[in-house]
Amino acid sequence: MPTARAALAAAVVLTAATAAGAAAVTPQPPPPTPVAAEPLSMSSWIDRAVRRMPLEQKVGQLFVATVWGKSATEEHPTNLAHYGVGTPAEVVERFHVGGVIYFNNSGTDNIDSPAQLARFSNGLQRAALRSGPHLPLIVAIDQEGGNVTRVEAPATEHPSAMAIGAGRSERDARTSAAVNGRELRAMGVNQNFAPVADVNSNPLNPVIGARSFSSDPDLSARLVTAQIGGFQDGKPAETVSSSAKHFPGHGDAATDSHTGLPRIDRSAEQWRAVDLPPFRAAVAAGIDSIMTAHIQFPSLDPSGVPATLSRPILTDLLREELGFDGLIVTDALGMQGVREMFDDAEIPVMALEAGVDQLLMPADFPLAYDAVLDAVRSGRIAEARIDESVRRVLKQKWERGIIARPLVDERALPKKVGTPQNLAAVQALTDRTTTVLRNDDDVLPLAAPGDVLVVGIGDTVNQAKTPTQLATALGGTALPTGSRPTDAVIAQAEAAAADADTVVVLTNNLSANTQQRTLLTRLLATGKPIVAVATQVPYDAGFVDAPTWVATYSWRGVSMNSLAKVLLGRTSPVGRLPVAVPDGADPSVERYPFGHGLSW
């Protein structure tokens, strides 16, 4: 990393040397450092950068923007509707944003492939470097693994956090994060909103589920710590910032904060015992950022204000009690959980007053941006408060090597992303996560599988492929039936089962998808050997009394490969439940205890 005053000034204020570097595929080396030049410390550089920025640029640095399109120069009508400009590069230039975030859904559709993403990232960084304040971007993503996977194959795909919880291995947790982080950085992404630090204490939680490592605070804390090390330890230019989410803890929610405002009614003492440990561990591990939750937590803030907007939660607890001085980033500000009580102009101002540094994805970006400017100009928020958060943003950019190396080498991508070594490492750790909950009829392993029929799973493009992928691995036949199979589809599955020796039923959230329960129940009634597989949350096993139950915690291909090995007896299942599975009809009855798992 350059340390001399001349080199760093070039990286920040866009001298001719920096401009030349921004025009190439790979960054050019800094100019030779004069022998007599004084080293420029991080704090000195930040001081100078903040002094030189007008208020409009400072405010822009606090926002992480959604952009539409798949390249920096792609004209997209939604950018024009939201921002008044057509391309992602123009969004960056017009609003001086400090960061952008990628999605492969939610309508933004930013991602085709790792190579495309690397080009996109470089294009956005060049736009940031040629416009005031001439600072490179924090480029963010949600790449948790399992269901929340934004960059898919040929990048390495990962199992869910709960699968890693079933494996119980801190080493495996760290390996998964290290592979994930290195590949993201090679694509130009330098901040990953992971790991999930929520302790999934509510089996009916509609939004966290298998995104959580466990219902056990200690296990969750240990695996969160391991993943932070995997993401952040190493050379700055080869690592990513991680972000523990969602503070103060989303694990007991009964409402999805995307669509409503959850209320958590546990006491402050219960919060300290259950929800706090993973976040305390994250702070101790030196995590770069922590994401807020759009939840009410009356025992922590009796006002009922969502945690994202709560000074008692973000400043009194997170900043002062826990001693966290990294970036506090909001969950997406377009979610209903934070919009239910306040309007879109008030939300970003209240978030900053509460102690937030990064404002993620406001519903109306120009309105939010202008609202913060107006709050400072009116005296409601002191400019010194804005400076405080800008300094944290710049510190992360410096420490994560973004200032020194904003661009990535697109030509090196095949040697860094989806490599045989990475794929093998993640497959090996996933093989240690499959959990057999029940094998009453000794169906497993399938010593002589014969004709195997695979049915079930959900409706997304990838979920629809999952039965076929597993059937191919088992040498069988697939009949994808979706998350809500109709009576006609169920009858079709019954007819197909008549010609099969074994039927594998892939389930996905039986608590909500009652038609899947009907499918499994009617297939059990055929008398054929049935292997029920919970491909997301293991709580599915509490809703239908099948004699054979397996949990994979993820429907990704890497998890299906591991499942096939277990079903065929090529590996022994060693995963153990990281949560307890209650009876679906009577949650006070425990069907399968924490730590349960069969082997052979």
Residue of 47, 109, 258, 387 marked catalytic: 258
Three-state DSSP class for residue 148? strand
Core vs surface per residue 326-335: b (16+ CB within 10 A) or e: bbbbbbbbbb
Q: What are the structure tokens assigned to 478, written together?
A: 């697939």
The answer to whether 258 is a known catalytic residue is yes
Please enumerate in sequence order all residues whose Cβ is within 8 A of that of 98, keeping only pairs 6 or more positions apart, or say none. 60, 61, 62, 63, 64, 135, 137, 138, 358, 393
Query: Where are the extended beta strands (E) located within 202-331?
Result: 241-247, 289-292, 327-329
| Contact status, residue 149 vs residue 158, Cβ threshold 8 Å | yes
| Contact status, residue 73 vs residue 89, Cβ threshold 8 Å | yes
Cα 305 to Cα 297: distance, rounded to the nearest angstrom: 8
Cα 348 to Cα 357: distance, rounded to the nearest angstrom: 10
- Residue 543 CB neighbours (<10 A): 24
The answer to whether 250 is a known catalytic residue is no
Cβ burial, residue 599 (10 Å; 0-12/13-18/19+): exposed
| Nearest CA-CA partner of 84 in 500, 307, 366 | 366
Please enumerate in sequence order all residues whose Cβ is within 8 A of that of 44, keeping only pairs 6 or more positions apart, or say none. none
Residue of 198, 216, 252, 331 marked catalytic: 331
| Contact status, residue 206 vs residue 256, Cβ threshold 8 Å | yes
- Chain centroid, CA 310 distance in Å: 23
Q: What are the structure tokens assigned to 87, written together?
A: 């391309």
- The sign of the CA dihedral 248, 152, 89, 16 is positive
- Residue pointed to by tokens 């599988």: 449
Query: With the CA atoms of 182, 187, 193 and 196 taken in that order, what torsion angle do they form, in degrees rounded to the nearest 10?
Result: -50
- The count of C-alpha atoms lying within 13 angstroms of the C-alpha of 86, restricted to the half-sphere facing its C-beta, is 4
- Residue 241 CB neighbours (<10 A): 26
- Residue pointed to by tokens 């913060």: 372
| Continuous H helices in 296-415 | 311, 336-339, 346-354, 365-377, 383-399
- Going across the sheet that includes 99-101, the strands are 327-329, 289-292, 241-247, 191-192, 138-141, 99-101, 63-66, 359-360
Element housing 503 (H / E): strand 502-507
* Antiparallel, parallel or unpaired: β 590-592 and 581-582: antiparallel
Bridge partners, residue 242, by sequence? 192
Q: Would you please indicate which residues are annotated as catalytic (active-site) residues?
A: 258, 331
